[in-house]
A and B are shown apart, each in its own frame.
Chain A
Amino acid sequence: SAVISQKPSRDICQRGTSLTIQCQVDSQVTMMFWYRQQPGQSLTLIATANQGSEATYESGFVIDKFPISRPNLTFSTLTVSNMSPEDSSIYLCSVQSQVQFFGPGTRLTVL
């Protein structure tokens, strides 16, 4: 199993600002995933982050808006840049080890 922590757990931000979300895993993993869950919706994959290489973004998500860092095998950050109210969502970090494990999520509200 994997234990995943995220910081912050929630935040309220002003439009036009940026927020960096941190994800820490208790074991080394090759791939880490970032998901978004908009209000009342299911999860959508934003990008896959491998250590030592650029993140791979899904259709509809771009690096300028959601830059990702993956400095080592247990840590990753996702930045939500130049935020607008439409970015209000829960952002979840995930790793896969047979079963897919998820962090507790970061609830972001943009005013």
Chain B
Amino acid sequence: KQEVTQIPAALSVPEGENLVLNCSFTDSAIYNLQWFRQDPGKGLTSLLLIQSSQREQTSGRLNASLDKSSGRSTLYIAASQPGDSATYLCAVYSSNTGKLIFGQGTTLQVKP
């Protein structure tokens, strides 16, 4: 059974810091991995999608990496801003079940 774990559960940093959010998954049989952002009480916004054949994707200040063999992904946020404060969710699309499996999320607070 695919399980997705995100560490840390919460993170508080001062504005301007570079930071890394971690995601691990137990089954390497995945089509892709997706990072989402969720603001309090809101739906999810897709940030980055990495196909299983890719190693990383970049969008602006965000960079996501994927190491399928070790079951890990990281989301790197450069020069963090207070507007980055949100919960970040990692999800893998399991090729065994055809379903999107979510981690518990990392709640990020960037202090001005």
Contacts and interface: CB of A to CB of B under 8 A. Distances in A.
Interface of A: 4, 33, 41-45, 90, 92, 94, 96, 98-105, 107
Contact of B42 (A4, A101, A105): A105
Contact of A101 (B46, B102, B103, B105): B46
B111 interface: no
Contacts of B55: none
B17 to A, nearest CB: 25
Contacts of A101: 46
Interface residues of B, number: 18
Given A92-B43, A105-B42, A100 B104 contact: no
A105 to B, nearest CB: 4
B34 A100 contact: yes
11 contacts: A42-B104, A45-B99, A90-B41, A92-B44, A96-B100, A99-B46, A100-B46, A100-B93, A101-B46, A104-B43, A105-B42
Given A43-B102, A90-B41, A102-B36, 19 more contacts: A33-B100, A42-B105, A43-B44, A43-B89, A43-B91, A44-B102, A45-B99, A92-B43, A94-B100, A96-B100, A99-B34, A99-B46, A100-B46, A102-B44, A102-B45, A103-B43, A105-B41, A105-B42, A105-B43
Interface in B43-65: 43-46, 49
B78 to A, nearest CB: 22
A107 B41 contact: yes
A107 B103 CA distance: 20
B104 to A, nearest CB: 5
Contact of B49 (A4, A92, A94, A98): A98
Nearest to A100: B100
Contacts of B93: 100
A102 B103 CA distance: 16
Contacts of A90: 41
Contacts of B49: 98-99
A103 B95 CA distance: 24
B100 to A, nearest CB: 6
